Amino acid sequence: MKAIVNVGLKEGVLDPAGKAVHHALLALRFSNINGVRIGKQIVIDLDENDEKKAKEDLEKMCEELLANTVIEDYNIEIVK
Amino acid sequence: MKIAVILYPGTNCEYDSKYAYEMLNQNVELIWHKETKLPQNLDLVVIAGGFSYGDALRSGAIAKFSPITKAIVEYANSGGKVLGICNGFQILLEANLLPGAMKHNKNVHFISKYHHLKVENSENDFLKELKKGDIVNIPISHGEGNYYIDSDALDELYDNNQILLTYCDENGKILNPNGSVDSIAGICNKNRNVFGLMPHPERAMEKLLGSDDGIKMLQGLIS
């Protein structure tokens, strides 16, 4: 099964890259944007059939490596 | 004194750090990250700057899992002195030896230039050769030096005098190059044996090359 992990800066933590892109979009005359946040998408190909076990493993992966929980949030999506 | 300079794949300041401490007449050994043990009778561990694992995922994120990092955490937890410079600081944050985290610089640029720093606390081994309020001129060279810490943990840093250095101009007025919370450039842990800073004191050892203010900083840990 495949898992998609999205990691991004927590709400309230300023995202410098997102801000830069926001300014660039304004320069392209897209004036109807309230904000831009940039994150990472990590696609993991898992050799696992048990969805519950996969979710548990992914949770551990996020806590230990994929996200820095001091500044980042994550969400996990299983794709069959 | 015996000093270990740690070398991860992608570290690139190991020879500068070795040169700097050899200039101060110290015995320096480079230690590859696959080693599981630090040398015996060590006085100081220096985690040198660079781009360990190419900054994959986040700077310092992968280096945390190298065998030598485990040995460094044990060494630090038993009171050994550890200095992390630039990427070394980022690794210490990822390894939870120091509080907080690093984000991309506020202006999203890699910044490489001399910058003035103000000594905020000198009652520690690292900055004891300097005085509170002293201003030093030290090169910075980083893309992810935007130090972040939440307000509760920041209060704790202030309460325990853990903020060591802040970015400033030549007169000591706050000048924040990267967006760091309260212009923080360097901190230590509560026990004052683990030190991390983004600027590179090992690159400020010769007046001829711009500044020798790094000498006093590096000397603190060996005197």
For the annotated catalytic residues of B, the residue numbers are: 86, 200, 202
pLDDT tens-digit map of B118-150: 999 999 999 999 999 999 999 999 999 999 999
Mean pLDDT of the B51-65 span: 96
What is A2-79's CATH number, 3.40.50.300, 1.10.150.120, 3.40.50.2020, 3.30.1280.10? 3.30.1280.10
Contacts of B65 in chain A (CB under 8 A): 65
Q: Decide: helix, strand or coil at residue B36.
A: coil
pLDDT tens-digit map of B66-95: 999 999 999 999 999 999 999 999 999 999
pLDDT band, residue A80 (cuts 50/70/90): confident
pLDDT for position B199? 98
For residues A76 and A62, is the Cβ–Cβ distance under 8 A?
Answer: yes
CB interface of A with B, residues 32-61, below 8 Å: 40
For chain A, percent helix, then strand, then coil, each to nearest 5? 35, 30, 35
Nearest CA in chain B to A12: B150
pTM of the full structure: 0.94
Query: What are the structural domain ranges in chain A?
Result: 2-79
pLDDT tens-digit map of A2-18: 999 999 999 999 999 99
Per-chain mean pLDDT for chain B: 97
Residues with Cβ within 8 Å of B207's Cβ and at least 6 positions away in sequence, in order, are none
* Burial classification of residue B115, based on how many CB atoms lie within 10 Å of its CB (0-12 exposed, 13-18 middle, 19 or more buried): buried
pLDDT for position B3? 98
Instruction: Give me the residue from A14, A15, A68 closest to B58, CB to CB.
Output: A68
Q: Decide: helix, strand or coil at residue A5.
A: strand
CA–CA gap between residue A29 and residue A18 (Å, rounded): 17
Q: The domain B2-220: what is its CATH number?
A: 3.40.50.880
For residues A3 and A79, is the Cβ–Cβ distance under 8 A?
Answer: yes
Q: Does A26 touch chain B (CB under 8 A)?
A: no
B223, pLDDT greater than 90: no
Q: Does A71 touch chain B (CB under 8 A)?
A: yes
